[in-house]
Chain A
């Protein structure tokens, strides 16, 4: 959903009450899933800044048929009325356009999938069973 925002963009701290140096801007936000009691599940939490927001297209047979990169999460706002964190993101197209404008080079996010070569996202499984001490 599209919203409006006026917030300190340098640090994400709130602006001072009389500070009008930052104009109101369009913003893209995601609210968590609505619950029957009128509250919402938290979609994003502090620490999620910078992560990629993805959209999953679901096939009628419940299989995920497509994963789309929607944008980069840059702010999380606590909404008192809904008792939930609202995630704000910048659409990935805007990010790419601005990187291209700044660097003068084309951006390619289709990083070669090198899994087939056994080089990336490769992991080594160590140990057995579940930790009983919350070690991660």
Chain B
């Protein structure tokens, strides 16, 4: 093993001496003198740097499978990376495992590239992608290459070009990995990280791609939500047990549907969607107004919202209009 994998395969990696001290120092001052917004941004950058380290070696991020075995030393390094994330996560940004679930490592997933990444990389990305495609197609007959963000959750992820190959133990795969490592440094913040993984291509059959989503379709992503509102209660560094339980629903995967569209007054330009209140706003204390919703022309949703009283109850079910 070499590099990050070797350093992290020790029982107690040396970096833990630093990160534990850093965590203790933060906890000592957190109640009196911390700018929460800046602290959160800096904490995300630290976690992203740890992610860069993990992405520097395919053996540290590729899931074990029949084409890729993980030995004892490597498994220890992976577990130590999960411990490193926890020690660095002083603002409780990372997802907590469900009650009763013991998780030794943090799974990594692809996510859509945020616009904040997409725009600044418009000049460098095409060249990097063209270079990778040219080299991979020269060496391997079968491959799939795509760009995405990749990480633990959308906020703790990095722009990535994924190179999917049929296997990793072939000469062509080894040549591709060697080439990628020789020209792209995972710590270069101006370039996409190259992620190599195994996969296969399957026929998807016939699909229908709707540019505008019809009424009755899914309005929420059925995937774990995260709150981008740093002022929201669910983003506080420390929650009481009751708050933690109450807000668990925010972090769980939920799905809901769109009712119908409507327009208000004589304004035909803005179209609103009507759905149930708990779909648009799953928790009254959750202040974030960002929701995934089918919306014509990709316009921003959640800009304008109404809580509407319906039914006969003194308190109310909420109908929500989204712009």
Contacts and interface: CB of A to CB of B under 8 A. Distances in A.
Contacts of B321: 99, 103
Interface stretch (B8-16, B131-139, B181-189, B199-207): B199-207
A52 B259 contact: yes
Given A47-B257, A109-B260, A52 B202 contact: no
A112 B268 contact: yes
A49 B258 CA distance: 8
A112 B268 CA distance: 9
B206 A90 contact: no
Interface in A77-136: 90, 92, 94-96, 98-99, 101-103, 105-109, 111-112, 119-133, 135-136
B313 A9 contact: yes
A47 B310 CA distance: 20
B216 A47 contact: no
Contacts of A29: none
Contacts of A22: 313-315
Contacts of A34: none
B209 interface: yes
Contacts of B262: 96, 99, 107-109, 111
A10 interface: yes
Task: Determine the interface band of chain A, counting residues with CB < 8 A from chain B.
Answer: 35 or more
Contact of A108 (B255, B263, B308): B263
Contacts of A130: 205-206
B212 interface: yes
B264 A105 contact: yes
Interface residues of B, number: 56
Contacts of A129: 203, 205-206
B217 to A, nearest CB: 9
Contacts of B208: 123-126
A111 B213 CA distance: 14
B168 to A, nearest CB: 23
Contact of A9 (B204, B215, B315): B315
Contacts of B206: 125-131
Interface stretch (B95-103, B226-234, B272-280): B272-280
A40 interface: no
Chain A CB within 10 Å, residue with most, of B210, B306, B308: B308
27 contacts: A9-B315, A23-B313, A47-B222, A49-B256, A49-B275, A50-B257, A51-B259, A52-B258, A72-B259, A72-B276, A74-B277, A74-B317, A90-B317, A95-B319, A98-B309, A99-B274, A109-B260, A119-B212, A121-B214, A122-B210, A122-B211, A123-B211, A125-B209, A126-B206, A126-B208, A130-B206, A131-B205
